[in-house]
């Protein structure tokens, strides 16, 4: 039986861990210093607690790093000396993934990128892999997480994830800012009517804005990763930086999916 250490079980990490458990893996997590919400997610997903990262790694064949992008290096450093398979599955620039690989010279480093929400049904979420990924797809065989192995080196999977995030998250940010501008001039209802007439999604999907705003604290750093990737490719980064600024303004809405749409838009122009 394969033993996996998951660092760490946030909403996405716990859902991915649950899929590995359902496929027969033993999935460990480290509870020290984690929140009650994290603990509940880990227990619900069937994860097994260990007192420290070192204790978990001593038993593990694989490490899955799924955390906010800002902490990707810290998580990698906590696994320094690990000799198994290390899957870097965070939303980070491809160049950054390559740098993190250098922090783990003893591990077999696999680049990963998750597209979709926390996996719950087959076809909803994909884990893309690049680099030496042998054995990782089998961890999720027959589960709700679809694994796709890409040709190419470390960084290719991250590039795909970041390219998709550039489109998806910027689109939501632009739609919300458009509604905030319309509301400021008293034409919010008219804008919504035009969105309905032209089927302009996500301009039409205002009921999704509270959920988007609740994740803004996590998406803002991701958009900075997008901006860095665009600059590295010689492409304009202004849209990504503007989206990051929009997401930062939603920090007071963190995890508050019940906020009225009016309040979500109001946070954009405090």
Domain with residue 176: its CATH number is 1.10.1040
Domain boundary among 102, 126, 153: 153
Supply the pLDDT for residue 144. Answer: 96
Domain boundary among 135, 153, 171: 153
Supply the pLDDT for residue 33. Answer: 86
CA-CA distance, 56 to 88, in Å (whole number)? Answer: 17
The predicted model scores a pTM of 0.90
- Residue 250, classified by CB atoms within 10 Å of its CB into exposed (0-12), middle (13-18) or buried (19+), is buried
Same-domain status, 41 and 149: yes
Same-domain status, 42 and 167: no
Same-domain status, 178 and 134: no
Domain boundary among 119, 153, 187: 153
Task: Tell me how many domains the chain contains.
Answer: 2
Same-domain status, 134 and 216: no
Q: Which two tokens stand for residue 174?
A: 């632009």
| pLDDT, averaged in runs of 10, over the chain (270 residues) | 94 97 97 91 96 97 95 96 97 96 97 96 94 94 96 96 95 96 96 94 94 95 95 95 97 95 93
57 close to 63: Cβ distance less than 8 angstroms: yes
Supply the pLDDT for residue 215. Answer: 94
Supply the pLDDT for residue 121. Answer: 86
Same-domain status, 103 and 173: no
CA-CA distance, 147 to 132, in Å (whole number)? Answer: 14
Same-domain status, 78 and 165: no
Same-domain status, 146 and 24: yes
H/E/C letters for each residue in 10-58? CHHHHHHHHHHHHCCCEEEEECCCCCHHHHHHHHHCCCEEECCHHHHHH
Same-domain status, 172 and 127: no
Same-domain status, 130 and 95: yes
Domain that holds residue 93: 3-153
Same-domain status, 147 and 193: no
CA-CA distance, 132 to 186, in Å (whole number)? Answer: 55
Same-domain status, 55 and 120: yes
- CA-based torsion, 179, 203, 221, 32: positive or negative: positive
Same-domain status, 203 and 148: no
Residue 68 sits in a domain whose CATH number is 3.40.50.720
Supply the pLDDT for residue 206. Answer: 95
């Amino acid at each position: 039986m394969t033993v996996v250490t998951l660092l760490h079980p946030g909403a996405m990490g716990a859902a991915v861990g649950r899929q590995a458990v359902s496929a027969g893996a033993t999935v460990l997590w480290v509870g020290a210093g984690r929140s009650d919400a994290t603990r509940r997610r880990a227990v619900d997903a069937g994860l097994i607690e260990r007192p420290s990262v070192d204790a978990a790694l001593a038993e593990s064949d694989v490490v899955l790093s799924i955390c906010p992008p800002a902490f990707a290096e810290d998580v990698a450093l906590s696994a320094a000396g690990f000799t198994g398979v290390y899957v870097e599955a965070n939303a980070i620039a491809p160049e950054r993934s390559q740098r993190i690989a250098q922090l783990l010279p003893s591990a077999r480093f696999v680049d990963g990128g998750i597209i979709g929400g926390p996996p719950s049904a087959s076809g909803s979420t994909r884990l893309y892999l690049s680099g030496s990924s042998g054995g990782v797809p089998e961890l999720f065989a027959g589960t709700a997480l679809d694994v796709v192995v890409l040709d190419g080196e470390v960084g290719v999977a991250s590039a795909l994830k970041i390219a998709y995030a550039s489109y998806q998250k910027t689109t939501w940010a632009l739609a919300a800012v458009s509604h905030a501008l319309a509301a400021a001039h008293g034409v919010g209802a008219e804008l919504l009517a035009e969105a309905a007439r032209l089927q302009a999604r996500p301009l039409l999907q205002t009921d999704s804005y509270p959920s988007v705003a609740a994740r803004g604290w996590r998406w803002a750093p991701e958009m900075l990763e997008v901006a860095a990737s665009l600059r590295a490719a010689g492409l304009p980064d202004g849209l990504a930086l503007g989206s990051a600024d929009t997401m930062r303004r939603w920090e007071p809405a963190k995890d508050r999916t019940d906020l009225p749409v009016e309040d979500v838009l109001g946070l954009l122009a405090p």
